[in-house]
Structure 1
Amino acid sequence: MAGALHEGVALQVALAHRAALGDGLLWQPGAARWWWTDVPAATLYAWAEGAPAPSACRLPDRAGSLAFCRSGRMLVGLAKWLCYAEPPSAALPVRLPLQPVVAVDPAEPRTRVADGRTDRHGNFVFGTRNEAAEARAIGSFYQYSQAHGLRRLALPAAAMAGSICFSLDGHTMYFSDAQSRRILQCDYDAAGAQVAAVRPFTELAHATARPHGAVIDSDGCLWNAEWGGGRLTRYAPDGTVMRSHPLPVAHPTRPAFGGAGLDQLLVTSAAARREDGAGSLFVLADPGARGIADTPFDDD
């Protein structure tokens, strides 16, 4: 059950930057940079806090999610491919060279790679979304690993897979279909790519809101960006609302913790409406929580 809605402080603009659909936000600890994509523009961004503008490069297709690897490479979820890239240490090139790794749904032209992140064991778990006009639930959830390749997770089909994150012990996976107001959870076995006991985690309080990206903090609480609701909401491990922070835009997309102490909480947004600041990066100055480091993708 969602519980009562407790309003917190508003998020502030960290970087005034217009993107049609900013997503895939990720913190790179070694280089102290934030990375994200503008999905429809097929553009990858990197930004060091304090810089006046992000560095940008073009991609050959839309990218929905990213992960850093143990080797230092980046795993990029293009529309129909997972690819490796060597992230430069300074400014991005005009085009980022990519090495295709595995095709995703090659026989289904209506879907593309969407939200994703590594699990606690270094596998990349991601979903696909239907981009056709009818928005039927034909998207899937997958796990990709070097050892086993691409394995489909036995989860309900989704129109827009999202909210993928994992409990502190890695045994619970959270996920959603952004066509509904619910965030779901299930038991998760990383080694076998097995899921079981799919059950509700929470339901968003506002009728116009849909769950988008999510992240777990060091207390095991889940932060979710409410697309259409203009809020970033923190849920307790039992799914009750702890507090909800408003944004000056209606369509936040993905939160991420970063900074040296993982005590900064930023969120990307989309310019689905032409509000001031739509597409910018927003920051919660005092989140009252710390993140936990993402497990690098095991590409050894």
Structure 2
Amino acid sequence: MEEVPTTVLCGERCHLGEGPTYDAATDTAWWFDIIGRRLFEARLDTGQTTIHSLGVMGSALGRIDARRQLLVADDGLYIRDSANGGMTLFLPLEADNDATRSNDARVHPSGTFWIGTMGRKAERGLGAIYALHRGKLLRLYDHITIPNAICFSPDGTIGYFADTGKNVLFRVDLDAATGLPRGEPAALVTRRNGGGIDGAVVDAEGVIWNARWGGGCIDVYSPEGVHLRTIRVPARQSSCPAFVGQDFSRLLVTSAWQGMAEDAKRADPDHGRTFVLDVAVRGRPEPDVKLATG
């Protein structure tokens, strides 16, 4: 397993750290503790981290503009004022189903936002993947157990997603202008052991960077599914990556202590912390979410 220079960005432990993203305009990283109902805000230029308490189980967000974010939560999509934290419901998301919550999500280059849901106890097949497109939620895939690894090729013609319940990473052709599927998904990577396929992000060259839950690492794959590298993360339950920094050359990685017994925590002293790995590659900025209904 490869080692790269690694620092702890935030020592506060997350029960279930997830959903990292980066706003280059303000040099700010954002991520969630889903179970803890907390949103983390870290200014990379100063190292200052602010923790915001949420009244919902947030799991991901996308930037709308300089002042607004679209926050994905267990009961809906909220427009959040990034200056004062005020939130307004934009659209409900499976709000009539108490058994599910949101999970992984990422914005397509077109501005369409893909969003996954899952059972609160990871019940088999209870989740789905949606696309927020032109102000409406479209259900793309049903019978997902744990949606993860939602990410896209730089030109927007390929989408990726995983069902961690099956431990399969899928690839699907997309309409670059809309971010919607143009065909059926096909299995790209299947992991048999050594951890689960979790969150992922794609760099500027189209290479996939995938966190391995239970493996304490980032696996790197070509667009064809060829394994290229494995990079160590200092926490066993690494959950999701995002490229950060003004040159996007570093990788923020969240982690979690969900489901860990006390002896497992002792054996994994950095469990639940959030890290920055100096991977020295060229990432890319996250697109803004488009809310237009026209």
TM-score, with structure 1 as normaliser: 0.89
Query: Over aligned residues, Cα RMSD in angstroms?
Result: 1.8
1:95-134 equivalences in 2 (<5 Å): 96-132=85-121
Q: Match of 2:70, as an amino acid?
A: L
1:142 is matched with which residue?
130
Q: Match of 1:14, as an amino acid?
A: V
CA distance in 1, matches of 2:172, 2:287: 20
Q: Secondary structure at the match of 1:140?
A: strand
Q: How big is each residue's C-alpha offset from its partner over 1:137-190, in whole Å with a ceiling of 9 and x where there is no partner?
A: 121110113x2411111x352111110001122111100111122111111235
Q: Match of 1:12, as an amino acid?
A: T
Asked if 1:201 corresponds to 2:188, the answer is: yes
Q: Which moved more, 1:43-52 or 1:32-41?
A: 43-52
CA distance in 2, matches of 1:156, 1:103: 18
Percent of matched pairs sharing the same residue = 27
**Selected match of 1:289 from 277, 281, 285:** 281
Asked if 1:251 corresponds to 2:243, the answer is: no
- Whether contact under 8 Å (2:172, 2:181) holds in the other structure is no
CA distance in 2, matches of 1:231, 1:72: 34
1:1-300 equivalences in 2 (<5 Å): 7-10=1-4, 12-15=6-9, 16-49=11-44, 51=46, 53-70=48-65, 72-88=67-83, 96-132=85-121, 135-145=123-133, 147-153=134-140, 155-189=141-175, 191=178, 193-204=180-191, 207-272=193-258, 273=260, 274=265, 275-285=268-278, 287-300=279-292
1:3 is matched with which residue?
none
- Whether contact under 8 Å (2:110, 2:179) holds in the other structure is no
Shift of 1:198: 1.2
- The gaps in structure 2 that reach 5 residues or longer are none
CA distance in 2, matches of 1:278, 1:11: 18
Would the alpha carbon gap of residues 160 and 97 (structure 1) be closer, same or farther in structure 2, given more than 3 Å must change? same
Q: How big is each residue's C-alpha offset from its partner over 1:249-283, in whole Å with a ceiling of 9 and x where there is no partner?
A: 21111100011111111101112332211111112
- Whether contact under 8 Å (1:151, 1:193) holds in the other structure is no
- Whether contact under 8 Å (1:11, 1:246) holds in the other structure is no
Shift of 1:201: 1.2
- Whether contact under 8 Å (2:250, 2:280) holds in the other structure is no
- Whether contact under 8 Å (2:124, 2:165) holds in the other structure is no
Q: Which moved more, 1:9-18 or 1:193-202?
A: 9-18
Q: How big is each residue's C-alpha offset from its partner over 1:64-89, in whole Å with a ceiling of 9 and x where there is no partner?
A: 1111013531110011110001112x
TM-score, with structure 2 as normaliser: 0.90
**Number of aligned residue pairs:** 283
